[in-house]
Structures are given as structure tokens and as C-alpha cells.
Chains A and B, each alone.
Chain A
Amino acid sequence: MKPLLKVENLSIRLPKGGDREFAIRNVNYNLMPGELLCVVGESGSGKSMTANAIMGLLPKVIEVDQGAVIFDDCDLISLEENRARDLRGNRISMIFQEPMTALNPLMRVEDQISEVFLIHTDMPASERQKRTLALLEDVGLPDPKKMLRAYPHQLSGGQRQRVMIAMALALEPSILIADEPTTALDVTTQAQILKLVKELQKKHNTAVMFITHDFGVVAEIADRVVVMEKGEMVELGKSDDVLNNPQHDYTKKLIAAVPPLAAPLREVKEHLEPPILSVKNLCKTYSTGGSWFSKARIVKAADDVSFELHRGETLGLVGESGSGKSTVSRCVVRLLESDSGQIILGGSEIQSLGAKELSPFRKRIQMVFQDPYASLNPRKTIGKIIADGPIAQGMSPKAALEKAAELLELVELPKAAIDRYPHEFSGGQRQRIGIARALAHDPEILVADEAISALDVSVQAQILDLIETLKKRLNLAVLFVVHDLRVAAQVCDRVIVMQTGKIVEIGETSQVFEAPAHEYTKGLIASIPGANWRSGNVEATPTELAEALA
């Protein structure tokens, strides 16, 4: 069979001063008609760069150094702009990572989709509308007639991604390029979108180039796989072969870093001491809008939430976005004020304390945040960031800085980092700094709010390992807010599953994963991409994973 698209020796140079000379170098692969090819790699591997080069969407400052992309006997790289434009959105189309921002907020769904017909065909308006409606039905959007008139902000993330897919498939392109289209979505929505892409690919015999960082997704949908590392293609092969019998070291590392989907056997701990934290009947509602004329919309983010946390235990708080897991974690550290309920920390009720009485309790429960880029003050040195808390609690600045230096060693960063600024560190390093900051108070409880979700899979494994080690060494109790069930299965002793503010299930991790009691939990687990891959017996703990990476 003749390949549909050939990427030949493609090299793209980065602007001078970048961290490496080439964004991608000597990349070669083919896309066969009707196949689903996954391009996998960590951030910065150049996987999106190739896609943008094919689409002619490279930023102006970046130029193709050499090589060609052959489609229909012409080279897309050297093709004149107006001819390339005719192909774009017509024969080759693309969907993007962020459905929330990928649609024009001021245009109705109908106008955005029918624009494709308007640009590439001379269809009359009535025909355009008919086709648009048919597309919306095709991608499984509810009430397509109403959907035509909707604006993007009225749709959920998954619905927006369906609109994007409808738009991309409008003219039945030969090739669909999907750039991490499910990364920003919840796991159940992701499962639906993956299914849709696969169905439409089969139905229209479209060749799909699917860019992802998630090997679970690869296991779920790919026919063939390309693995990229730092701009170079390191492995290419059939999905089964690459996943189960990887040849290149880098691929092996990446796959080893994917947490298996089954909880390791853990001894069920008997807790003799009273719990360090117990939360009783916590409630928090948000109300938005509301004015003289209308009722406010009320969202119950935490609805009668109760749980206990013991020292030395990792308790997972899992659920999809909007389930209230972050709200609960923030209420527990009292970054948010709950409406009612009790938070008992080491025997003292802290939910109702005023700012002054609360102050001594604050240091006993500390938080690590999700976004390592936004959670460190860019204008302060690392030492200052870590020492600020203890200083505020009355430690002398000198002692606090000395302690900061010790903490940096504890989180495996060089002591010299103390005088440097956050922008000099990578995401994983910053998260280590975030952990050091939280530990500066010698807390008894660490609350990690999606502390690893912004990181690449190999870095994730390292941070998880660090948290595990610290937990053991310092006898911490860890409340781990996480949406990634594979991670939860690996690191948590017990998990709480939340849905729309309520706890639907709570139990030992292995029990929840092997015999989920609640329908919602079952749905969540079934939605995990590649659930059948790496689901069997579990040999690697996070520590071993990290060793495998080292």
C-alpha cells in the first residue's frame, strides 16, 4: 500500500538561544491510509512540531531546515501558501489540546463549522446548514438543532472537543491530526472522545495522526506508534510490539514510568493511635450570580464530607473535575472557609478558629500545589520562598535560611539553589521546592493538590518517589488529591472517590480498584485508557520505578 503522507528527513531548527539546536531532527515516518498512528513523547520532544510543520502552522521564527513532507505527490513544506491553504482544513485537518480556548468565543457553533464549507466550497447557505447539522449528529452532540445556535462557553470541554472534531471532519479529510486532544479532559470524557475518534476513523477511513504523552491512550487506540525523544525519533513500530516489547531504552523507561493499573498488595494497617486529622460533615457551597431579579446558582462543592487520616498513611482523593476534591483539600488547610462541619487536627477543632488562634495550627498541615510554575513567587529566591513560612512563625531569619538549605538537601536539590530564582528550575525541580516549602514547618500532614499532574511521566515517578520516601522518614500523613487513577492505585493506602461534592466510595485502594462498589467508581475505572494493558500483577513500586529510571 502506498503511504498517504511521508515525512522524510525532516529537521526543524529552533531559534538561536534555545536549549537545543533542533526542534526535530531527521524525522522519518509514513502515515498509511486509514491507520491510527500515535506520536508519543514527553514535553519538548518535538512531537507537536512535526504536526505543525505538516499543517504549515509553525511560528514565523521557526523554519524548516531540511526535509520534506510528501502528500499527494507534493511537498507540503515547499508548497506555495495559497495551495497549502486549499489543503488545510479540507484534505488535512487538525484538532487541538485545549478545547476550552480552541473555539472563537464570539461565534456560534454553526458559524464556526460552516465556515469550513464557506472557505473551501461554493455550497449554498441552506446546504451548509444541513451539512453542519449532520456533522453535529455524527459526533454525538445532544440536541444538534439547539447546538447550532450555542456559543462555545455554553458547552462542556468534551462537547467543545466534539465541535472541533465536527469542524475538522467537515470535508472528510484524508488525514486528521489530533494534538493531545484529550489531555485536558476528564477520564470519562476522554474515553468517549477516544471512542468517537476511533469510530469516525473507521467509518470514513481517515488516517489519524494522534499526538499524546499518555501510553494508556496509545494502548487504547493506536495501530502504530512513533516514539520521540528530544526531537529525534527513537522507535517506530506496531502498537502491540512497542508497548509490550519496547526496543529502545528511552521507550522502556517511559513505559516503566507508567504506573500499572492495579494496587500493589499492602498490609492493611491497624491504627492504634487516634487519627491525626478527622473531617466531619464538611459542607461548602458556592453561589454564583444572583441579583435583585434572579436566584443565584448554587453548587455544592462539598456535601457532608467525612473522613479520617492517620499518620504514615496516604489517603487519595480522586474524582473528575468539579467533583469537589480540590475544594475539600483547600477547606481542610483552611485556605477556603467551609460553611459547616468540623475539622479536627490532632484533637483540636480548627474549623471555627479565628485567624489568630488558627496560626499555630497552620504549620501542622501544609500544602503542595498543582502548578509548579505559578505557585512560586518569581521575584523571590528559593531560600526566601522556603524560609518565609518559618520566619512568619517566629523563627530567626538566619536559622530559617539554614533550615531551608537542609530542606533542599532533603528534596535532593543542591544547596547552591538557595540563592537562585524559580525560573532557573525545571517543572520537576520546582515541585521539589514546593515540597521543601511545605516541609519547612515540620508539618504532620501534607496535602498534595494534583501535585504531579503538570509533570511529565518520568518526572512524575520521581516526585512520587520523593513524597513516598519523605512520608516514611518523617511519618507524615498525606492527603493526595489526584485525578489520575493509575497514580492513585500506586501511591495511596486508601482512596476516597468523590462525585459532585459527595463521597461515593471510601476504602482500601486494592479493594476499590479490584471490586469497586459504586457505579461511578466502576465507570471511572472502566474509562482509564489502556485499562487492559499493564493491569496484571504489579511488580514495581514507585521506588523501584525511580530506580528503573535512574
Chain B
Amino acid sequence: MSVQTLLYIGGRLVKGAVVLLVIAVFNFFLIRAAPGDPAKVLAGEAGATDEIFLQQLRDQFGLDEPLYYQLWVYVSNLMQFDMGMSYRQQMPVFDLIMERMPATLLLTGTAFLLSILLGVAAGVIAAAYHRKIWDSVITVAALIFYATPLFWLAMMASLFFSVYLEWLPSFGMQSVGEDLTGWQKITDIAMHLILPATTLGLFFTAVYARMTRTSMIETSRLDFVKTAKAKGMKPSRVTTHHVLRNALLPVVTLAGLQAGQLIGGAVLTETVFAWPGIGRLMFEALFQRDYNLLLGVFFISSALVVLFNLITDVIYLIVDPRIELSK
């Protein structure tokens, strides 16, 4: 990697940090603007309602300080990579998130890979059979998955494969009460993973399929494809070496967008399938007005978006030689 590239990445990281700080401040006010009081929620759960107890809680979390002071404390802690304590769970926010991170990454990562592979493959096939039956089948299927709400699909899949066919577990990440190890454990998790990962991935599979198809068809009309044919190449080589590589460029952009949602994008799926991931953590934190935890999840999600934007741009530098830095 050239010095220029490293400088570029460095510059982007600095800009990214500034963006993250702005986002953190914005999130802070956004959450305070929502109605609700964490102290009341906590007290309610403890069955205590007297004013002194509430005051104690507020005091403990610093909730009775002026807003600007709370912001200052939050931001300065954040600058030292301290995201504070969860009010309710009495644990550092960072630890809570990291505890849930593997489960979420497993789910969203699988869905991510699955949707790229399936989507691109479907798009290539549809383009190869342009205006023939396979094209129509894939286009219609993609449209259906694109239009169907995710949670409904999740529930139907769960009903059909778990309740009716009893093939796959319907919730959780591991079987309850069985102390599995080694391969058995991996298989068990994999079985639990199939339904949520598929439902989560289907939407993006559809998007990739549609985009790849259009892009393949457009690219195959370009002049250099004619040049390739004029060289006497087999159609399969024309497709893989000339059309596909060029057609995948817009797909990279889309993959970057999807990758940015790897953490925050699975709330519905995790809730329906009771997957112990960050999405559910966030969902619960929302109802409990657990400000610090919620802000922590927001922050990590936005950091990931910023990071993947940068990664996408760097990937572009590698795959598209036409993009040159500062020239």
C-alpha cells in the first residue's frame, strides 16, 4: 500500500472520529428528548415509588445534574473510551455489548455472506437468461422477498419449519439444558442459526439479485464486451472475466451499506427468534430507559457504519483502478 493510500486512510479516520463525536452528541439529545425517566422505570420494577428512593437513584446516576453537565460528563468519558454503566444491569456498557457481540456478528455475518453469494449468483443467472423463464422466476421471487416485511417472513418461517415440520428450533441460539461440546455444539448453533440468518438475509439477497441482474445486462452491452467477443472468447469467459468484474462494482457499494448495518440491523429478527444479540439488548434498553446502554449501542453501530464506509472506499481503490487518490 502506498504512502498516499495510508495518508488517505489516516485522513478518513480523523474525519470519521469527528463524525462519530457529532453523532454521539446528537444521540444524547435525541434520547433525552424522548419521554420517560429511567429512575421511575427502575423504581417501578423494584416495587418502590417513594420520592426519596427516586431521588437517590437520580443522584446515583447523575440524572439530576443540568443537561449540559451530563453531556460534558458523557462526552469526556467517551473520549476516554468509557461508555459508562448500565443503570439497570449495573455493569459497564462496553462489557454488556461485547458479551452480546459474538451472537449478533454470527447472525448478521452469516446473513451478509449468504445474501451476497445467493444474490449475486441469482443475478448472474437471471442476466444470462435475460427475458427467458429463469429470468422471470428470479425477478419475481426477488420482488416478493423485497416487498415482504421481515418480521412477517420470520414468523411464517418459524411457524412452518419449527412448529409444523419440526425440522428446526424456533428460538434461541443453543438448545436449553443440554451441555453440548465440540462438533455437537457447533451443529446445534448452526441449526439455530438457519432460520434467523435466512430471514434476515432474504431481503438483501433480493436487493443483490436485482442489482446484479441490471448491472450485468447493462455491462454486457458495453463496447469492451464486444471486444472480448471479437477475441474469440467463450461466452462463459466473457461473462466471468469481463462482464461480472465490471458489473460487481455497484454491488460493492451496496455491500458496504449492508455491512454498516451488521450490528443495528437485526433488532426485529433477534426479537422474533429470541436471539441473544445486541438487537435484543437495545430493544430491552429502550423499554427500560437505560440511557447509557442505549447510547452505547448507538455509538458502536454508528462507529461500524463509519468504519465500513471507509472499508468500502478502500476496496474500491483496489478493485477499480480508475479511482485514483488526489490526482
Residues on A close to B: CB < 8 A?
Answer: 55, 57, 85-90, 93-94, 96, 98, 101-107, 115-116, 119-120, 151, 153, 164, 167, 288-294, 297
Q: How far is the CB of A219 from chain B (nearest CB, A)?
A: 28
Judging by beta carbons under 8 Å apart, are A297 and B7 in contact? no
In the complex, are the beta carbons of B326 and A103 less than 8 A apart?
no
Interface secondary structure of B, over-half rule: helix
Q: At the interface, yes or no: B224 with Cβ under 8 Å from chain A?
A: yes
Q: Are B231's CB and A115's CB within 8 A? A: yes
Residue in chain B with minimal CB distance to A150: B321
Please name 13 further chain A to chain B contacts, defined as beta carbons within 8 Å, in addition to the given A106-B320, A288-B327, sorted by A numbering: A55-B230, A89-B231, A94-B230, A102-B223, A102-B227, A104-B246, A115-B231, A119-B234, A120-B232, A153-B322, A291-B326, A292-B11, A293-B4
Cα A441 to Cα B143 in complex, Å, equals 51
Let me know if A105 and B246 touch, CB within 8 A.
Answer: yes
Q: Of residues 210 to 241 in B, which have CB atoms within 8 Å of A's CB atoms? A: 222-224, 226-234, 237, 241
Instruction: Verify if B161 is at the interface (C-beta below 8 Å from A).
Output: no
Task: Tell whether, in the assembled complex, residue A93 and residue B230 are in contact, meaning their CB atoms are under 8 Å apart.
Answer: yes
Docked-complex contact A85 and B223, CB < 8 angstroms: no
Contacts of A102 in B (CB 8 A): 223-224, 226-227
Q: Does B88 contact A (CB under 8 A)?
A: no
Count of A-B contacts with CB under 8 A?
89
CB closest chain-B residue, reference A90: B232
Docked complex Cα distance between A115 and B237 (Å): 11
Distance, CA A96 to CA B241, complexed state (A): 20
> What's the Cα separation between A98 and B225 when bound, in Å?
13
Q: How far is the CB of A11 from chain B (nearest CB, A)?
A: 23
B58 at the interface (CB under 8 A from A): no
24 CB-based A-B contacts, threshold 8 Å? A85-B233, A85-B234, A88-B231, A89-B230, A89-B231, A104-B228, A105-B246, A105-B322, A106-B321, A119-B233, A119-B237, A120-B232, A167-B227, A167-B231, A288-B327, A289-B326, A289-B327, A291-B11, A293-B4, A293-B11, A293-B326, A294-B326, A294-B327, A297-B327
Q: Give the chain A neighbours of B326 by CB distance below 8 A.
A: 289-291, 293-294
Kindly list chain A residues whose C-beta atoms are within 8 Å of the C-beta of B327: 288-289, 294, 297
| A116/B229 contact (C-beta < 8 A), A106-B245, A106-B321, A153-B321 known | no
CB <8 Å contact, B231 and A119: yes
Name A294's closest neighbour in chain B (CB-CB).
Answer: B326
Contacts of B7 in A (CB 8 A): 293
Closest to B326 in A: A294
Which residue of chain A is the closest to B230 with respect to CB atoms? Answer: A94
B266 to chain A, nearest CB (A): 34
Find chain A residues with CB under 8 A from B8 CB: 293
Do B230 and A88 touch (CB < 8 A)?
Answer: yes
For residue B100, CB closer than 8 A to chain A, the reply is no
The chain A residue with its CB closest to the CB of B245 is A106
Nearest A residue (CB) for B323: A153
Write out the residue numbers on chain A whose beta carbons fall within 8 Å of the beta carbon of B234. 85, 119
Shortest distance in angstroms between A121's beta carbon and chain B's nearest beta carbon?
Answer: 11
Determine if B319 and A106 form an interchain contact, defined as CB atoms under 8 angstroms apart: yes
When C-beta atoms are compared, the residue in chain A nearest to B246 turns out to be A106
A106 to B326, CA, bound (A): 19
Please give, as numbers and ranges, the residues of chain A lying within 8 Å of B320 by CB-CB distance: 105-106
- The answer for the CA separation of A90 and B230 in the assembled complex, in Å, is 9
Q: Chain A residues with Cβ under 8 A from B245's Cβ?
A: 104, 106
Give the docked Cα–Cα distance between A469 and B4 (Å).
58
**Residues on B with beta carbons closer than 8 Å to the beta carbon of A151:** 321-322
State in angstroms the CA–CA spacing of A293 and B234 once bound together.
Answer: 45
Complexed CA–CA distance, A167 and B229 (Å) = 13
Question: What are the nearest 10 A-B pairs in CB distance?
Answer: A88-B232, A89-B232, A89-B231, A294-B326, A101-B223, A151-B321, A291-B326, A104-B224, A94-B230, A102-B223
Contacts of B11 in A (CB 8 A): 291-293
Residue contact B224 to A103, C-beta cutoff 8 Å: yes
Name the distance in Å between A109's Cβ and chain B's nearest Cβ. Answer: 11
Q: How far is the CA of A130 from the CA of B237 in the complex (A)?
A: 23
Taking a contact as CB atoms under 8 Å apart, the answer to whether A57 and B227 are in contact is: no
Closest Cβ–Cβ distance, residue A171 to chain B (whole Å): 9
Interface centre among A89, A164, A290, by most B CB within 10 Å? A89
Complex Cα gap A287–B227 (Å) = 34
